[in-house]
Structure 1
């Protein structure tokens, strides 16, 4: 289409949805800079990227139309995609050879996005370690909070526990009861965390590719369950070991 300088356009994913929300954009016509362009393609959803454009919001036309729209034939940059990771250095070398035939080495630069990717991965690694530490501390603090709440609950329900044991309740049944209560308490906290996490993920997804998976939800509930069990054992055991006589005397 570049050779023919045709009045055609390829739309980014979001742009196609915005312009034609209820039908396919293929074959439709749009007006850009006073020209009627036929849509011959729609890109798959790409999402945003660090240091790069959000291609989902772009439209792409033959280079002849770009010159016409901008009023200049100057090209500031080329984006070239390698078909294989191993080809990047070879391609960079070939590009430099071609450009050096026309320009001196100070007139251009060749940037490899893998350099940016390496920096991003390093930052993400540091953030992951930091957030993991914060999450671990939060779990411990939350677990201690659950344990304190359950210990207070056991103290407040001492006479109830004594009465249940006096009429034949087994220590095991009381232990399981308080353990279940601790698990329910931690699971409620986990559910609130999942909801907040889902809202946060939705917000991030407006700018970068992000999604919450069933696996991450399962892990969150699993961790909540484990916290309830680990920090609920001590209060539950204390409740199950209360002497019915001493418990009934408690004021």
Structure 2
């Protein structure tokens, strides 16, 4: 499966063999047309498949399917529209791609240059062997500097390394933020205990148990931290919504539950000291407090 590329303004016209779409998972879904066939490739038929964003840009008020567009003086029929793929870090935006038979782009360019050959193996275990065979086949026609053999495991390894580094960095930032937030909650609760000393003394004087006062202040600390968790979830959801046009992002129920769980835990951990202080106040001393 091979392809050649011609870049036009904000879109990329990709010339490919008919197998390329299925191998790269660039096929229209049911109801959105189809990819071109081998016969259409052999005949260099004037057909084209548009990426999601490109189709919407060209035909914002209706479906682009079965419409015609002019590409390098050729009237090309739109036979398919791809589902939204989204961009990637440093990668192409397939939503702005258009696919047409390889021969058409050869005609557009005036040359027969190929910039990519995609090989899909039935199993990942075959990748090393196929990689060697592909390299040997290319060496028979070109010198070693004319091409590069690249497999997806290399890309996956690089991505995993980047994700791992980012995860550690973000975890560190999150941990520091939680500690700072927890200290803030503890300080607020200590001030609250000081301001409500007489109230605590009065409750103890009429029979309130220390554990009841302890639980009361712990609940207040949990509520305070949960409010912070709610604000964080709200801002995170808005952030995910904002970047969803560039990268697929969503907030799941599980992540929301985890956020509130961590918030409650922070409230408990940093609320214990103020709550214990409140529960241990002497009612006589508390009632004397001004």
TM-fit CA distance, 1:85: 1.8
Paired position in structure 2 for 1:157: 196
Structure 2 residue aligned with 1:96: 135
Please name the residue that 1:249 is paired with.
Answer: 288
Residue 54 of structure 1: aligned partner? 93
Higher strand share: 2
Counterpart of 1:147?
186
CA distance in structure 2 between the aligned counterparts of 1:47 and 1:90, rounded to whole angstroms: 32
- The aligned residue for residue 225 of structure 1 is 264
**Structure 2 unaligned regions, length at least 5:** 1-39
Q: CA deviation at 1:58?
A: 0.8
1:196 to 214, 235, 239: 235
Deviation at 1:22, TM superposition (A): 5.8
Q: State the secondary structure of the residue aligned to 1:61.
A: strand
Q: 2: distance between equivalents of 1:122 and 1:203?
A: 26
175-184 or 66-75: bigger deviation: 66-75
Query: Is the alpha carbon distance of 1:72 and 1:208 closer, same or farther for their aligned partners in structure 2, counting shifts above 3 Å?
Result: same
- Alignment: residue pair count: 251
Per-residue CA distance 1:90-141 (angstroms, 9 max, x = gap) = 3323322332332222322212232132122112212212221222222122
TM-score, normalised to structure 2's length?
0.77
**1:113 corresponding residue in structure 2:** 152
Give the drift of 1:158. 0.7
Residue 11 of structure 1, CA deviation: 1.5
The SS at the match of 1:40 is: strand
Partner of 1:122: 161
Q: CA RMSD in A?
A: 2.3
The 5 Å alignment of 1:10-89 reads 10-21=49-60, 23-89=62-128
Q: Name the SS for the 1:2 alignment partner.
A: helix
Structure 2 residue aligned with 1:207: 246
Deviations along 1:116-169, one digit per CA (max 9) or x if unpaired, are 321221122122122212222221221122111101110011112222333443
Provide the C-alpha distance between the structure 1 equivalents of 2:119 and 2:83, rounded to a whole number of angstroms: 18
Segment drifting more, 135-144 vs 196-205: 196-205
With the length of structure 1 as denominator, give the TM-score of the two structures.
0.88
Q: CA deviation at 1:247?
A: 1.0
- Deviation track 1:203-245 (CA, whole Å, cap 9, x = no partner) reads 4433333322111111011100111112112212221222222
